[in-house]
Each structure stands twice: as structure tokens, then as C-alpha cells.
């Protein structure tokens, strides 16, 4: 596989040189011949690289791919076996990061293949890349939260603005800057969809859009604005989706006619076909905030252990996910300090350690203090 990567790298450099020569007035055939002459003997270069890395050429790609794919397995194992512990909470957060990273990696790979198919000298490569990224972003958004259509609207507007700006500055950019900009901006669409309801989105549009006849599994929170399928803002989204699908169909046809690698043809075609299908089977994953609360679970876990002396239950996490009160952890901790459960816990500590109930003054003093349950236990043990 690494030998194939060398060939692809050689082809990429030769194509860059061909593009530069074409811009200078060379014919296609003359530019190809001159670029190959400048680059040198590819076979000799490949032999030299293989001699330097004999085992690497055979196993490196498989080792890297294996590590990436199977790194998720122990995380799921830890999360299953230690679900109620701090280690399980941390592993769950790492699983969410892994999926986000995996989606971004696949996006960048597919974008790179599209760019190599449509040379960067052609402005249509901008439209092709953003069309693919927009379709991926829509799929991600619907899978995470089927009602989060405002994110798709943001991405649609961002796609149009980014494409117009790139089209205007395209002639002034070098090949390397073109590649970096297209990949970065298109991948940002997918990142924006994955990070849904970020601070920037909430600043532009603080309310979520909720379809009136949506699935019951994706019930909205109180801040949602109900809309119909034919809301003008969604019509714009439909037009962009249609245009993106037309561009991608054209790109797939071009890929099968001109692409050199069968595995790229199969993977890219399967990806584009699956994009509109996957949301039908997986949707509303984050409609109740199940993913948003993951990054806060460690704080919630610490607060419960410190203040109440117990681990939070699943229903506690679900409550914070639905209410998003984890965004105000200082208030959450204050409520826990003032809770009846904390007083009952302190009372039980007195009964278990001193075989008596606390006095009103003792109960009030420990309840109002910022001491953790562990510190209160140690303090009561000192009263024996």
C-alpha cells in the first residue's frame, strides 16, 4: 500500500508541474513530457525508497490503519465494564472524540480524492469539494439531531460565502494555498455540523428549528421554534442539497471514467450513496443532549461524589442533558449543597460512626460547609 502512496505522490507532483506549464502556454502533451523529464525516473526513486524502508513498505499502512480502527475497541470495553466509575466517564468522552476525529479524517480523505480527480487549476474543484462536504455535514447533522436544521442553514450560507470568496481570489493563489484552503474550509463545514449548537451558532440564531410533524424520539426543548417542511429557510436548504447531489453525481461519473484506482471508485461511490440513507436508520442521537453532556460528565461525577457521597445515576445525567444546566456548574453545586439528600447523608454518617443522630447545630454546620462527604466522614470520626 505504501508503494501505491509513493505512486500517488509522484503523480501529484507531476500534475502540479503540468498545471504550471499549461499556464505558461505548453500543450497538454508537451507539458506532460516536460514534467516527467523534470521529475526524473520514478522507478528508480521507488526502488530507493523500498530499499530504505523494506518492511515499512509492506506493513506500515496496515499498522496505522489497524491502530486507528481498533483503538475504539478498548474504549468501548472500558465504558461497558466501568460505566458508573470515573474511568468509564472518561472513556465515554474519548469515544465521542474518536468518532469526531474519524468523521473528520474520512472527510479529508474523500476531499483529497476529489481534488486529485478535478485538478486545482479548475475552479469547479471548489464546487465539487464544497458539495461533498455539505452533503456530509447534512448527514452528520441529521444523525446527531434530526431537528437541528439551523445548523444546515448555517452551513449552506457558509458554503456559498466561502465558494464565492475562493472563486474571486482563485487566480491569485498558488497550488499549495489552493489545496490547503479548499480542504480546510470544506472540512470546517463538517466540523461545524459535528459541534452543533456552538457559541457562534447560538449568537446568530439562539433558537432551534423543530419540525411540527417530526419523529417523537426527537422531542424539542422549550427554546425550539416550530416550523413546517416548506419554511422559506428550508427551501434554500433543499435547493442546495439538490445542487450538491447533481454535482456529486457528475463527480462520480467522472471518477469512474477517469479514476485510476478501483478502491477509490468503490469507497467514494458508496460514501455518496450512503449519505442520504444513513440518517433514515440513525437519527436524533443527540436530540436529548446525550452527546453534549458527555464532556460535562466528569464535572457532574465529581460534584456528586464530593457533595452527596455517591456516583450520579443515569437518570441524573439524563436530567442534565435535557435541561443543559451543566452549563452553570456553580449553580448545580450550590443546589446539591443545599439538597435534602446531603443532609440525609450527613445524618447517616453520624448514625453509622457515632450511633446517634446529629444535633440541629451539627447538621446545619456540616450542610452549610463546603466540605466534601469524605472530609465530613473524617471529621466525624475524629469526634469518637
Q: Do residues 258 and 129 share a domain?
A: yes
Residue 286 lies in a domain: no
Q: Quote the cell numbers at residue 186.
A: 470544506
240/68 Cα distance (integer angstroms): 34
What is residue 342's predicted lDDT score, i.e. its pLDDT? 92
Q: Do residues 332 and 184 share a domain?
A: no
Q: Do residues 167 and 60 share a domain?
A: no
Q: Do residues 65 and 127 share a domain?
A: no
Residue 104 lies in a domain: yes
149/156 Cα distance (integer angstroms): 11
What is residue 208's predicted lDDT score, i.e. its pLDDT? 64
Burial class (CB in 10 A: 0-12, 13-18, 19+), 67: exposed
Q: Is 153:208 a contact under the CB 8 Å cutoff?
A: no
Burial class (CB in 10 A: 0-12, 13-18, 19+), 4: exposed
pTM value is 0.71
DSSP H or E stretch at residue 86: helix 86-117
Q: Is 146:214 a contact under the CB 8 Å cutoff?
A: yes
Residue 75 lies in a domain: no
Q: Do residues 218 and 345 share a domain?
A: no
174/155 Cα distance (integer angstroms): 26
Residue 79 lies in a domain: no
Number of domains the chain is built from: 3
Degrees to nearest 5, angle at CA 207 with 204 and 211:
125
What is residue 1's predicted lDDT score, i.e. its pLDDT? 47
| Residue 215 main-chain phi, psi, to 5 deg | -70, 140
| CA 85 distance to own-chain centroid | 25
Residue 110 lies in a domain: yes
- Provide the residue count of the chain: 384
Per-position pLDDT tens, the chain of length 384: 455 555 666 666 677 777 777 877 888 888 888 877 776 666 666 655 555 555 454 555 566 667 777 888 888 888 888 877 888 888 888 888 888 888 888 888 888 888 777 766 677 788 888 999 999 999 998 888 877 777 788 888 888 888 888 888 887 887 778 888 888 888 888 888 887 555 555 555 555 666 665 544 444 455 566 777 777 777 878 888 899 999 998 888 888 887 767 777 888 899 888 988 888 888 888 877 788 888 889 999 999 999 999 999 889 988 888 888 888 888 899 999 999 999 999 999 999 988 889 888 888 898 888 889 999 999 888 876
Domain region containing 320: 294-381
Q: Do residues 235 and 312 share a domain?
A: no
Q: Do residues 179 and 233 share a domain?
A: yes
Domain boundary among 23, 44, 70: 70
What is residue 47's predicted lDDT score, i.e. its pLDDT? 59
Q: Do residues 276 and 299 share a domain?
A: no
Q: Is 224:148 a contact under the CB 8 Å cutoff?
A: no
Residue 126 lies in a domain: yes
Domain boundary among 44, 70, 96: 70
1/7 Cα distance (integer angstroms): 10
For residue 170, give Cα distances in angstroms to 116, 125, 173, 198. 17, 11, 5, 30
Q: Do residues 267 and 364 share a domain?
A: no
For residue 117, give Cα distances in angstroms to 112, 129, 188, 245. 9, 11, 21, 17
Burial class (CB in 10 A: 0-12, 13-18, 19+), 195: middle
Q: Do residues 95 and 244 share a domain?
A: yes
HEC sequence for 183-247: HHHHHHHHHHHHCCCCHHHHHHCCCCEEECCCCHHHCCCCCCEEECCCCHHHHHHHHHHHHHHHH
Q: Is 7:42 a contact under the CB 8 Å cutoff?
A: yes
Q: Do residues 51 and 132 share a domain?
A: no
Q: Do residues 152 and 301 share a domain?
A: no
50/3 Cα distance (integer angstroms): 8
Residue 201 lies in a domain: yes
Residue 127 lies in a domain: yes
Amino acid at each position: 500500500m505504501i508503494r501505491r502512496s509513493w505512486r500517488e505522490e509522484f503523480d501529484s507532483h507531476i500534475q502540479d508541474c503540468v498545471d504550471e506549464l499549461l499556464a505558461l502556454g505548453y500543450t497538454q502533451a508537451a507539458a506532460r513530457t516536460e514534467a516527467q523529464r523534470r521529475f526524473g525516473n520514478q522507478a528508480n526513486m521507488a526502488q530507493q525508497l523500498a530499499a530504505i524502508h523494506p518492511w515499512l513498505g509492506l506493513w506500515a499502512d496496515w499498522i496505522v490503519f489497524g491502530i486507528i480502527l481498533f483503538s475504539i475497541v478498548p474504549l468501548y470495553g472500558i465504558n461497558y465494564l466501568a460505566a458508573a466509575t470515573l474511568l468509564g466517564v472518561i472513556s465515554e468522552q474519548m469515544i465521542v472524540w474518536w468518532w469526531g476525529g474519524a468523521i473528520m479524517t474520512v472527510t479529508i480523505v474523500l476531499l483529497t480524492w476529489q481534488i486529485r480527480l478535478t485538478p486545482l487549476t479548475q475552479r469547479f474543484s471548489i464546487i465539487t469539494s464544497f458539495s461533498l462536504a455539505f452533503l456530509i455535514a447534512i448527514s452528520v447533522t441529521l444523525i446527531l439531531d434530526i431537528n437541528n436544521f439551523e445548523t444546515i442553514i448555517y452551513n449552506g450560507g457558509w458554503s456559498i460565502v466561502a465558494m464565492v470568496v475562493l472563486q474571486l481570489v482563485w487566480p491569485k493563489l498558488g497550488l499549495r494555498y489552493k489545496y490547503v484552503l479548499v480542504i480546510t474550509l470544506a472540512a470546517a463545514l463538517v466540523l461545524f455540523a459535528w459541534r452543533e449548537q456552538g457559541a457562534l451558532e447560538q449568537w446568530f440564531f439562539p433558537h432551534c428549528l423543530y419540525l411540527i410533524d417530526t419523529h417523537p424520539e426527537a422531542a424539542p426543548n422549550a427554546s425550539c421554534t416550530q416550523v413546517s417542511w416548506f419554511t422559506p429557510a428550508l427551501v434554500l436548504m433543499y435547493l442546495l442539497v439538490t445542487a450538491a447531489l447533481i454535482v456529486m453525481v457528475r463527480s462520480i461519473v467522472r471518477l469512474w471514467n477517469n479514476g485510476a484506482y478501483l478502491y477509490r471508485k468503490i469507497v467514494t461511490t458508496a460514501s455518496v450513496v450512503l449519505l442520504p440513507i444513513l440518517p433514515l436508520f440513525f437519527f436524533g442521537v443527540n436530540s436529548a443532549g446525550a452527546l453534549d453532556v458527555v464532556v460535562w460528565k466528569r464535572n457532574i461525577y465529581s460534584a456528586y461524589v464530593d457533595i452527596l457521597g455517591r456516583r450520579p445515576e443515569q437518570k441524573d445525567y439524563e436530567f442534565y442533558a435535557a435541561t443543559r444546566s451543566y452549563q452553570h456548574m456553580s449553580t448545580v453545586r450550590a443546589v446539591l449543597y443545599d439538597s435534602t439528600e446531603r443532609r440525609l447523608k450527613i445524618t447517616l454518617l453520624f448514625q453509622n460512626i457515632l450511633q446517634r443522630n446529629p444535633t440541629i447545630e451539627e447538621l446545619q454546620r456540616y450542610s452549610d460547609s463546603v466540605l466534601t462527604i469524605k472530609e465530613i466522614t473524617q471529621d466525624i470520626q475524629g469526634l469518637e
